[in-house]
């Protein structure tokens, strides 16, 4: 399984970014290879549509699950259409959140906020 997590810094010890679409990095973790990579989020500087672009980029990386605090409805629609599971992050490091995905202790994220600028 491949997991994506919005990251403030390029480190497994980093905190999760509170924003999905405007997170500076994403941690992409492959549970079979036990490998993590950090990718820059090119959508971060967009004046609009950042959530859609970020979601598209993660879909293209063929992720199976996203762990995040919050998500806009446009990005949510892209991810759910691509059948990607969205889990609610807990306020711990990225490594701790990965561990919680593996022992199935994260809940699904059921609420999304309206997408677009200044509406979240």
Partner 1 sequence: MKIAVLSGKGGTGKTLVSVNLAAVAEKGGYFDCDVEEPNGHLFLKPSDIEEEEVTSLKPVVDMDKCDGCRVCVDACVYKALAYIPGELMIFDEICHACGLCTHLCPRQALTETKRVIGTIRRGRRGSLSVHTGTMHIGESTGVPIIKELLKKLDDDLSIIDSPPGSGCLVLETIAHADYCILVAEPTIFGAQNLALVHELTQVMNKPAGVLLNKVEDGINPSELYAKEKTLKILGSLPYDSYVALENSNAELLVERSEKYRTFFLELLKEVVDEATLAAQR
Q: Identify residues 48-67 at the interface with partner 1 (CB under 8 A).
A: 48-50, 52-53, 55-56, 59
Q: How far apart are CA 93 and CA 81, in angstroms?
A: 28
Find the shortest distance in angstroms from Cβ 88 to partner 1.
Answer: 23
Among 2, 39, 44, 82, binds partner 1 (CB under 8 A): 82
Using rule CB under 8 A, residue 115 touches partner 1: yes
Question: In the structure encoding, which two tokens stand for residue 108, read together?
Answer: 């699904």
Q: How far apart are CA 24 and CA 13, in angstroms?
A: 15
Contact 39, 58 (CB under 8 A): no
Which of 9-17, 33-41, 44-52, 96-104 is the region at the interface with partner 1 (rule: CB under 8 A)? Answer: 44-52
Find the shortest distance in angstroms from Cβ 110 to partner 1.
Answer: 21
Of 116 and 120, CB closest to partner 1: 116
Positions touching partner 1 (CB under 8 A) are 43, 46, 48-50, 52-53, 55-56, 59, 74, 77-78, 81-82, 114-116
């Amino acid at each position: 399984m491949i997991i994506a997590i919005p990251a403030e810094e390029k480190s497994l010890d980093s905190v999760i970014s509170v924003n999905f679409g405007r997170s500076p990095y994403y941690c992409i973790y492959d549970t079979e290879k036990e490998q993590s990579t950090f990718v820059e989020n090119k959508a971060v500087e967009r004046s609009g549509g950042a959530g859609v672009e970020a979601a598209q980029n993660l879909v293209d990386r063929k992720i199976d699950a996203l762990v995040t605090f919050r998500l806009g409805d446009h990005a949510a629609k892209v991810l759910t259409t691509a059948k990607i599971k969205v889990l609610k992050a807990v306020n711990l490091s990225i490594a701790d959140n990965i561990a919680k995905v593996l022992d199935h202790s994260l809940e699904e994220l059921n609420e999304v906020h309206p997408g677009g600028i200044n509406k979240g």
